[in-house]
Amino acid sequence: MLKRISYVSKFSRPLSHTEITELADKAAERNRSLGVTGMLMSSGGIFYQVLEGPTEAVDELFHKISADLRHPDLLVLTTHEDVEDRQFPSWAMKKVDLDEAAIGRLEPIRALLEAIVVQREALQRLMRVLSRSVWQELMDSE
């Protein structure tokens, strides 16, 4: 059985089209050796990636990605265990640079990626307020 993980993250710094291509090419090379397939989409300083393959390989790769400083504010969107079929069987790492693509039908994807990141930031702010409020309530009740 296979495992599939999808996530979004913000760029730690602006990346050029060339840097994104180099990143995807290195990932494809590494993924081939691990039996991992997937895709890497970028738009407006945001990565969206899907990884699929043997559970141990996906977990190891995702652990490295999570620790990579190029992927701050990483948000896991989905994790599927015991996947029977790959979504991207022939792509060791397909790169889709939405900033380079002039295809109008991709605009909703750009907007969705941006909305996910904005919503995550809003949720983080709300969680900080909630934590402070709970802490204050506990301190006041002593």
**pTM of this structure:** 0.74
The CA-atom distances, in angstroms, between 136 and each of 126, 130, 132, 142 are: 15, 10, 6, 10
Side-chain-facing half-sphere of 139: CA atoms under 13 Å? 6
Note the pLDDT of residue 111.
74
| pLDDT digit string, tens, across residues 35-91 | 999 999 888 888 889 999 999 999 999 999 999 887 778 888 889 999 999 999 999
Q: pLDDT: is 41 or 134 the higher one?
A: 41
Please, what is the average pLDDT of the chain? 85
pLDDT of residue 121: 79
More confident position, 12 or 103: 12
pLDDT score at 77: 87
Give yes or no for a contact between 107 and 113, defined as CB atoms under 8 angstroms apart.
no
Q: Give the span between the Cα atoms of 122 and 60, in whole angstroms.
A: 30
Contact 8, 46 (CB under 8 A): yes
Q: In the chain, how many H helices and how many E strands? A: 3, 5
Are residues 59 and 4 in contact, defined by beta-carbon separation less than 8 angstroms? no
* 97, pLDDT greater than 80: no
CATH number (3.40.190.80, 3.30.70.100, 3.40.50.10490, 2.40.30.10) of 2-140 reads 3.30.70.100
Ranges of each domain in the chain: 2-140
Digit-coded pLDDT (tens) for 103-116: 666 667 777 777 78
Please give the structure tokens belonging to residue 10. 């913000």
